[in-house]
A and B are shown apart, each in its own frame.
Chain A
């Protein structure tokens, strides 16, 4: 099992609230990612990081922000939650394996519902 953890697993919150989704990995991976996925739909990359103090927007525009102050920690923050933010958020980290490939490990996800 991969050592990457997300909390909380489920969150129901009211509109306008500020929330932070936590993601931590103990594998020492430099690269980390946040994806957004609606039920039955594809994963959309919303943020990624090459390492400490390095963050970039993904292919899907998102109102969330991220920070990478420590290698193992990559939290995602929504300053003011809206019903349109209701979705599943998946965190991942990756390593460069032998032979030059990249293997990503995913957390269990946070299912966010904004009411």
Chain B
């Protein structure tokens, strides 16, 4: 079982739609959680950190469920420019921690 698992998609949605991605993690020592976005053949860019109480940044909302060991990303009012691959990232442990990247979920937003 992979330490971080995501549905690879692709998710095909029309502009203006709301779309949600889930990510599950298996290591109970996971400490910190992030969503990154990666455009085709570009570097991953930090989209947002995920906090225990949930957090929002404009049209993006991230949630963490420690009991069930998953995080989610909700995108409201999708734009064409949201088309990208979304990576779930987990930092495991403290001190000498390690970072695990999910394989990503592809999103296509269509006009």
Asked if A and B bind, the verdict is no
Binding site for A on B (CB under 8 A): none
Binding site for B on A (CB under 8 A): none
